Amino acid sequence: MSWFVLVLSGVLEAVWATALGRSEGLTRPVPTATFLVALALSMGGLGYAMRTLPVGTSYAVWVGIGAVLTVVVAMVTGTESFSVVKALLLTGLVACIVGLKLVH
C-alpha cells in the first residue's frame, strides 16, 4: 500500500508544480487552490509512505516521479521544448525510479 500511495503522491507533486507555475505568483485563484490542495495531499501521502519505506528511497521516488511528469506535461502543452536527449534523460530517471523499487 505504501508504494501505491508514494506513486500517487509523486503524481500529485507534478500536479502542484504545474499549478504553481500557472498560478502567476499565486495570484490566480483556481491554479492557486489546485496548488494548495495537491501540495497538501502530496505531502500527506509522502509522509504516510515514509512510515514503512526508507526516507531516502521515498523522497527520491517522489521527486523523480514528480519531476518526470512535470517535464512531460510541459512538453505536451508546449511550454517546454521536446528533444530526443530530454526524452532519453527522462527515460533514465524512470529507470532509476523502477530500480529503487526493485532493490527495496
Give, for all 104 residues of the chain, the pLDDT tens digit.
999 999 999 999 999 999 999 999 999 999 999 999 999 999 999 999 999 999 999 999 999 999 999 999 999 999 999 999 999 999 999 999 999 889 97
3 state SS for 14-68:
HHHHHHHHHCCCCCCHHHHHHHHHHHHHHHHHHHHHCCCCCHHHHHHHHHHHHHH
Instruction: Identify the pLDDT of residue 91.
Output: 96
pLDDT in tens, 51-78: 999 999 999 999 999 999 999 999 999 9
Instruction: Identify the pLDDT of residue 104.
Output: 76
% of the chain surpassing 70 pLDDT: 100
> Which pTM does this prediction carry?
0.92
% of the chain surpassing 90 pLDDT: 96
